Structure formats: C-alpha cells, structure tokens
Chain A
C-alpha cells in the first residue's frame, strides 16, 4: 500500500471511530425515545458513512454488517419498525463489533458477528415476510429504499438504475429488447481505439439509453481509481438483437445482458402509478460475477448469502440529507507537533515582546514616543492573544470523554438491574488532549464505583423514600483558571465510621488516631493504597486497587481529587485539573550561581538547617535531623561535580523531596522562585546525564535545567538509609504525639490567630510597595501567571482590623483547592503544637473559628478554614490586592493524603531567620 493509501486508511479508521462514538450515544438516546426522528436520521447517517467508507477500502465484513444495520435503521426511520430495548441492544452490540473490526480492518473477517448479523436479518425478514402484508406491499409498489428494494426491481441486474415504469412503456409497446450493458471505459472502449464520447453517441444512435450508472470496482479507493478501470453500466433499449448489438458496439457478448420483456412488463403493470424506483441504497448484489475480478481478486468471494456486499461503491453517491452536513466541516485535522511548534513560536514572541516593551520604555522622553508606544502596545496585545489562541487550539471538549459514559452506565445498570440516569453537564468545557487521555481511566473508575457501590437497588431506594431511578451526574466547569470535574451520585453515600473501622483493620490507621479524625478526613482514607470497602469483589469494581490509583493518576496530571459524602444521601467526587500539561509548577533553586528547576509535585518542604534542624554526617553519609527523624541528604553542588570544600559548606537550604517511598533532602544554595515552567526537551548529548529531565526558560529568557528527583536519589539514598536505619528506630517515636501543628500569626497588633499547618501550603513574604488596592472585587495576576486573592481576616471575623502594616508582610497561602487565596498577616509569630482537646469551643462561638486556645501563654483564636472559605465564597470579595513576593517556605499538596504521617513545616528557625 502506498503512503497516501495508508494515510487515507488512517483517516477512514479515525472517522469511522468517531461515527461509532456518535452512533452509540444516539442509540442509547433512541432507547429512551424511540420516535426521535433526528436521532434516527443521525444513526442512519453514521452507519451509512461507515459502510460507504469501508466499501471504498473493500473491507467486506464491515460493509456486510453495516449494511444489515443500515437496513434495520432505514425501517426504523421510515416508521415501519419500533425500536425496543432488545433491538437497541442488538444494534449496540453490532456497533461494538463494528468498532472491533475497525480497530483492525484487515482482519475484520476474524471478528465473529454472525449472531448480530443473524439477529438483524431476522428483524428484516420478519418485516419483509409475507406474514406482514402491509409493509411488504409498500415495499413492492413504492420501491422502498434499502432492504425492500430488491423486490421492487423487475430484475436484479437492474439495480443501481433509476427509471420509471413510464420509461419502459413505449419500448415495451414496440416490442424492443432491453439490455444491460457493462463496459470498462478503458478495457472495452478506449482499448479498441474508440473515444468514450464516440461510443456513447453510437449507442444513442442505436436505441434509447434509459439510465447509466458508473462505478468503481469494489475494493478500489479513490486514491487508486486512476489505476483501475471505471465500469460503466447502461440500461439500454433497442430493437436490435444481442449479437448485432455486440457487433455494432464492439462489445463482447458476455458484456450484454438481456432483460426479458415479460419481466419488465409484469413489473410495469404492478406499479400502479408514476412512482419512481429509487436506486437501491444499498443495492442488492448483482448475480453475475464481476468482470473486474481479475483486477482485484482479493475482494471477490463467491456470491454472498446476505445482500449487497459486492456492490461497487458508486463514484457519485447520492447527496446525503442536508442534515448530515455537520459542524465537523468547520474543523480540520492538524498535527499536534505542528501545534506544539506554533506554541513554541508564540512563547518566543512573548519574550521578544517583553524586550521590545523594555526598549520602548527607554525612548519615552522622545517627542514621537507616543506613536511608538501605541505600536508597541498593539504588538503586545496581539502577541498575548496569539499565544492564548494557540493554547486554545490544543484543547478539546470533554464531551467526547463524557459521551462514553452513557454507554458504560447503561450497560452496568442493566447488568446490576438498577435504574440509573446519567446527567452530563458542561460537556463543552475544554481540556488539553493529553489531559483528556489521562483522565479517561480514573473517571471510568469513579463512574463505575458510583454505579456499582453508590446507587442502591431500586427496591432499597424506594424503601428509603428516594425515587427508584438513581442519578449519576458528570459535570465539568471552569473554576479559577482550572477545570473542575465532578462525579456526583445520589446513592447510599459512605459511612465515615465504617471507613475508619476498615482502615484500622487494614492497619492504615491507629484506633486513637481514628477517634480524633474528622469525618471529612475519613473520606480521604479510601485513597490509601489497598483500601477497599466493597463487601464483595464484583467484576465491575472493588478489587481494592481503585481509588489510590485514581488519585495517583490524577496527581500525575497535576490535578487534585477530593471526596465528600453524606451517608444515605450520596457521594460527590471533585477533580481539579490544570488547563494544560505543558506547563508544570516548579521550584527554582540556585546552586553556584546557576538556576535549576525542581518539579513542585516532588517538593515537600524547604528547611533551613541550623540548630533545630542540624545537618550531620553519619558513617560517610549526610543526614538532616528533621523533627525527630533522620533524613538522607544529597548536596546538589556535589552531585553536579563542583569541587567539595568542607570549609565552605554553604548549606543554606534543604529542599525535602518526596518520591514514591522515600523522602530525601537536597542541599541548595538558594531558593529563587516558584514558577510555572514549560518543559523543553534536551538534545542527545545532554540526555547522557540522568539528572536532567529537560530544560526550561525563565522569565528573562535564561535557561534552567530541570532536575529529576528520582535519578538524583538513585544509588545515593539507599546507602545513606542503610546508615540511618539503626538510629532511626529509636528516634522516630519522638514525633508521634496526639497533637497537630498550628501556625501562629497576627495581623496588625490584633488578636493572635492560629491556623492548622495541614491547611497551609506556603507562606509568602510580600513587599507592601508591590501591592495595589484595586476596586473591591477583583483578583489580579501575580507574575502574569496565577491569581492571588488577598483576604483580610478582619473583614470576615469580629477581630480588630490592622491599622498599619510594616513595609513587608506575609501571605499565608492555603493548600489546594484554595491556593488562589492569601491570608494577610503582618507578623508570623511562631508555630506550636495544639491538641484538639485544648480548643475551647464554647467561650468564643463565631462562624469561621473553631474556638479559642491558650498558646504561648496568650489567648489564641483557632481558625476554621473550611468555614472561612465558605464565608468568602458567600461574601464575594471585600478586598483585593495584588501581591508580588517571594515565598519563604513551602510544602507539598500531597501531605494530607496520609493523615497519620502528616509532616509539619519547620517552626521558628525557618520563619524567623528569613523574617526581615
């Protein structure tokens, strides 16, 4: 096969798969509403397109199956059949078979589809059989399209021709002969030195041409049609006898088929009126073997038992109904690589634009600078929207992904004999295609869970006073520059106590810890590895490898999953995803004057080694003593081959990196920034170094290499850990106590406030000069990348507002999903341990506060962050400030996944040492 053919074949498979997708959706919708003609038409078109395209390529089995389906569909469309559940099931399973065939069209014959074909054929036979006289009569007389048409033609050899009884009457009356002539335009006409035009002129002089039909032999694609002969058939009437005709036209006698006059006469009589006989669509097979068999031998098995398989595909198929001109025509297919290249170039333009802006600033004093400024501004805005548009070009609607769940839910609910309705919202929300692919498996798992474990049996539901039909809702929406996908069911919900009991049984949780654990955290237990609450493992879900995989997969996509459930009312799972994968959040660190990027997903926290967290050397390996644990440490400068000078160990920062099973510290010289970076590949000479996973461009166009935390740990950490293991056992018990760490802060000289460190992602230091107060309700961009909305707690809580703030103050940035907020604090006081029993929940009862506690010998208000977030959402936004600052410490969003090993941010030294 030539390259062009392969390309066409790919296109065919792609398009047909799309047709099958829409086919499935339509079929399921049809089941609910059998009289929906637009659905019927759409199904008919889908099947028809698949059949037509498969015919071009000569994929007989596909054509065969699609044909029976089409026949059934045409009966449905014409109202001669009513779709019932069994019929829809049959059609769905046929479309499955089609899909399987399309996956490997060359081997389509190996897919068994006899039962489907037979079932559909049975429907057809039942319809056309003598037992149902009304439709068959219609078929006979009116020449119903498709199936019924075979009986509507006077002679099978005439299929493909359009003619009316009136056309035949005069020649019949004159006793003329009727012929069907078959000629290869090249083989039979041009090869004999005649021109096609001349041939037809001669033909017309000999008699009357009733109709002509031109076709390519079966199995010949458009790409090859130039190499193959075009077969032309003519329905012709003349007074001449066959042998004379043959001589006159120079056609071999076997090319001429005489149609007996009696047959035609009988047919004309049986046609009461002027009704026309439409060409069979799809037409039944021609009885005689095709002359082109020698040209395309593979495509010609002996006459098939089922109709219309060998039909050559018409070059000029009838124009399809206007409705089939779908919106797809407004789109073109484009190579993803090309889009990536465009994206690169646009990014480049942005850099160039920034330089231009700087240059333009220099000429501000010039007299004609205003014109210059306006041009620069224009270029600037065009560049931004160019980048935006190209970014959008990579996005695809989630509808395609959501669509497949109609099928999954339908099948599962039938299997489980549950009644479930699937609602889909926001299917036009768009996501990067790589994200969509990665989302497919986790989402399937969640939907299956909802159907299998969530929704109860109809009887149980009625007993609980719910409607018998359960609801699963899939929705997608844009939220603060991210996409939120929600899977909601109104099923049984989850019992936090049962989850805890299970977790204790599995050894994931200690009973004491469980007693203290709030319900909202208990739900997160199901994301722990090896945790499954299903009483029995079903073949649908519940093998215990579910939710943790879902979580891992979603986090791999840079997303975040959250779960909320009410016992007896249902479960809601929220997935938040970035719009695109090409941009990853990273921590940029400095080492010997060079910048390196670390993927934020691996960064757990940043520690400033000192008296409280000393760096030690144990048996040749270096370790960091961190809150009672010893952690292996790798020195980045050493790793990168800089000479080690023990006298000049800077050891300014240790970045704690978390891998799947181990954490280790990376010693770096400085923390540069927190950036969203675009990953660029490295050339082959640089790929020899395993520590580099790519490179990226920072704001001013300088290059930072991206470090791979896994390969940096490789071979180093295990050695260090060997030395550690002995010491570890005695020291680790220290950290575990019945308390949680809180961060104490103050805004102005007001009350001392405490927030749980598990809720805090990072604390940023903000320069007051960088802050503008704009309006009352807007959020502004930080570093042109993300938005930080500043929250003054005095606006929400009955506390003293800050009268004045120092030049530099702090922002406490919560963990996802609230990372778009920043709580303003003028002073970070300390961190402290707080046990839940210490909180006085009675004295100070205010929404947004858990209560008060005495910490550091002062009365401290303990924030209830969830309530605060709700209050914020309700109140709108009283204050908005823009912040541009550098952050002081950070922690990774993965922490709250394993509640019993919650790590805390370092307390005093990190904070105070950087405190200006």
Chain B
C-alpha cells in the first residue's frame, strides 16, 4: 500500500517481454519465459476451468494452455487469441536459474503456457512500473497484475506470472 503513495517507486530489475492480446498490451518478466510457440495446435479439454483452453503437444510433453483474457475476467464474447503461445518455465527450469524471479515457487512441474495474439518488444530493465489501478477502474482482476507501464500513447499491464500459473482455487472443493 505504501507504493500507492510513491508514484514511480517500483523499478523493474529484470527485462520484460511485451505481448498483445485482444488489442491490449501486456508484459511479463522475461525470466519466466522459456520460449514462444508459433501457431500452436490446441486440443480442447472438457470439464476444465474456463481459463484453460486446452492442451498443446510440446516436444513430448503436454502443455496446459491458459486463456489470459478469461483468467483476467474479461467477457468471453471477444475472439480469443491463439496465434502464439508463450511457454513458461517449469519449477525445474526456474530452479536452475542463478536468480529466479521472486514468485518462482508458484511454478508448476509440468509446462504451462499463455495464448496470445502477438509478441512485442523486450522492455529494458529499470523501466518504471506504476502500481496497478484499482479494480473498479481497470475492470481487471488485480490478483494477476503487478503494475502498469505508461508508454507513449498506451498502457502496458505487467502480469504476475507466478499467480497466473498457480492455482489457489484448487484448495476449494472441486466442482462436481
């Protein structure tokens, strides 16, 4: 909360990867990113939470493809992106990094990815990240949002990948 009082306090130490989904700009910590798949073939899976789009075959492993817009609580009527898939590092991959991201303990043991429209630029370290606006203004689920970067004309939302790939809901009794 103290951050809210100091406007430009939070400066990112590591690089960010920018990407686009449904015309919105996002960014995530580059340390989390393992690779980007072009035109992934998503096999839909029944009975899963709505933010899970399906599974993707990733070199002999089964990758869970998440739908960013559904995860953030955006209405389901827009066409969903699917031309790129950002593959995040698994817990095993992250443990080998000399300086893993803070939320690396939330990583899954099996590969997880995020379906997006396009990959953008890599944002340099040290860029100023503003605290996220209140829920009411953005309409976003702030659990997954670390902050916002104001760049040129638009805003880029910086995502918390750890929260995005983790599943606190699992502790609740599963839906019948």
User: Taking beta carbons and an 8 Å cutoff, which residues of A are in contact with B?
Assistant: 344-345, 347-348, 351, 594, 640-642, 680-686, 688-692, 695, 697, 701-703, 705
Contact = CB atoms under 8 A, between A and B. Distances in A.
Contacts of B112: 683, 685
B48 A348 contact: no
Contact of B174 (A344, A348, A683, A688): A688
Contacts of A683: 62-64, 108, 110-112
B60 A685 contact: no
25 contacts: A345-B59, A348-B59, A594-B43, A594-B46, A641-B46, A681-B110, A682-B62, A683-B108, A683-B110, A684-B108, A684-B109, A685-B66, A686-B52, A686-B55, A688-B48, A688-B49, A688-B174, A689-B47, A690-B174, A691-B47, A692-B45, A695-B55, A695-B62, A702-B41, A703-B55
Contacts of B59: 344-345, 348
A642 B110 contact: no
A697 B174 contact: no
Contact of A685 (B41, B57, B167): B167
B1 to A, nearest CB: 31
Closest 4 CB pairs of A and B: A683-B64, A344-B60, A640-B46, A683-B110
B55 A642 contact: no
A680 B110 CA distance: 10
Contacts of A594: 43-44, 46
A697 B55 CA distance: 11
A325 to B, nearest CB: 35
Nearest to B66: A685
A407 B175 CA distance: 54
Contacts of A684: 64, 108-110, 167, 170
Interface string B22-60: 000000000000000000010111111101100111011
Given A686-B45, A691-B47, A697 B170 contact: no
A702 B59 CA distance: 12
A682 B64 contact: yes
A686 B112 CA distance: 11
Contact of A688 (B61, B63, B110, B170): B170
Residue of B56, B60, B61, B63 with highest tally of chain A CB at under 10 A? B60
B49 A685 contact: yes
B56 to A, nearest CB: 8
Nearest to B166: A684
Contacts of A695: 55, 62
Contact of A348 (B41, B51, B60): B60
Contact of A703 (B49, B62, B111): B62
A677 B145 CA distance: 40
A647 B41 CA distance: 33
Interface of B: 41, 43-49, 51-52, 55-57, 59-64, 66, 108-112, 167, 170, 174
Contacts of A705: 45, 55
Given A684-B110, A686-B64, A703-B43, 20 more contacts: A344-B61, A345-B59, A348-B59, A348-B60, A351-B60, A594-B44, A640-B46, A680-B60, A680-B62, A682-B62, A682-B110, A683-B108, A684-B167, A684-B170, A685-B167, A688-B167, A688-B170, A689-B47, A702-B41, A703-B55
Nearest to A680: B62
Nearest to A715: B176
Contacts of A685: 48-49, 51-52, 64, 66, 112, 167
Contacts of B111: 683
Given A685-B52, A685-B167, A688-B174, A697 B60 contact: yes
A681 B112 CA distance: 12
B48 A686 contact: yes
A702 B62 CA distance: 11
Contacts of A688: 48-49, 167, 170, 174
Contacts of B51: 685
A634 to B, nearest CB: 14
Given A685-B112, A689-B47, A705-B45, A680 B64 contact: no
A391 to B, nearest CB: 14
A642 B43 CA distance: 16
B106 to A, nearest CB: 10
B60 A702 contact: no
Contacts of B64: 682-686
A730 B167 CA distance: 51
A128 to B, nearest CB: 57
Contact of A641 (B47, B57, B60, B66): B47
Nearest to A637: B46
A705 B112 CA distance: 17
Residue of B49, B63, B110 with highest tally of chain A CB at under 10 A? B110
Contacts of A681: 62, 109-110
A286 to B, nearest CB: 47
Nearest to B169: A688
A702 B45 CA distance: 13
B60 A347 contact: yes
A887 B62 CA distance: 29
A689 B44 CA distance: 14
Residue of B41, B61, B112, B174 with highest tally of chain A CB at under 10 A? B61
A46 B176 CA distance: 59
A705 B46 CA distance: 10
A701 B57 contact: yes
Nearest to B56: A703
Contacts of A640: 46-47
Contacts of B49: 685, 688
Contact of B46 (A351, A642, A697): A642
A641 B52 CA distance: 15
A683 B64 CA distance: 6
A690 B176 CA distance: 10
A692 B45 CA distance: 10
A556 to B, nearest CB: 24
Contacts of B45: 686, 689, 692, 705
Contact of B43 (A348, A641, A691, A702): A702
